[in-house]
Amino acid sequence: MARFMRKGTTKIHFVPTISDPSGPTVSEITAGTELQDELAEITGFGFTNNPIDTPDMGSAFVGKIPDEDTTDNSDLTFYEDDTSNPILTALAKGTQGYIVIFPSGTAGATPAAADVCDVWPATVASNTRIYSAGNEAAKDQVMFTLTSEPSIDAVVE
């Protein structure tokens, strides 16, 4: 497998409705909003396990067993548009849907059957402008709550 850079390869969509997150359809994904071209930063969209310590009297070593999986705080930061902003309209506070990430991109210009993606059920927790006096482009930050377990390596149908 060849190494690659996510920038210019990974594709991200916000999709309002997916009937089966383990196998989203092409039509469901294309009905959503493509995000990567206006995306400045991405944080989170990962999950970890909180292991439980299992000490016992027979050893000074403290073993662990797996426990609950939890998600990281997740947000997307976009460049702000001073004329219109369809991304922020699609990602209004309280909006529920799915963040669909194609980590290795798609086979063609648009998602197609057999492409592999991660599907994150999410609700927009906040949508806010980032103010800065620095020398940088205006940005908006959208924070998500991840509402259920993601489908990792889902195959598009």
User: What is the structure's pLDDT at 117?
Assistant: 98
User: Average pLDDT, stretch 89-94?
Assistant: 94
Res. 83 pLDDT band, cuts 50 70 90: confident
pLDDT digits over 1-32, tens only? Answer: 688 888 889 999 999 999 999 999 999 999 99
One-letter amino acid identity for 97? Answer: G
Joined tokens for residue 50 = 């909180």
Residue 122 phi, psi (nearest 5): -150, 155
Assessment of whether the complete model's pTM goes beyond 0.75: yes
Name all domains of the chain by residue range, CATH numbers in brackets.
11-155 (4.10.410)
pLDDT of residue 82: 86
| Phi-psi group of 94: left, alpha or beta (phi > 0 → left; psi -120 to 50 → alpha; rest → beta) | left
Determine phi and psi for 17, rounding to 5 degrees.
-140, 130
Sign, CA torsion 62/63/68/71:
positive
The token pair at 81 is 């548009």
- Which pLDDT belongs to residue 121? 97
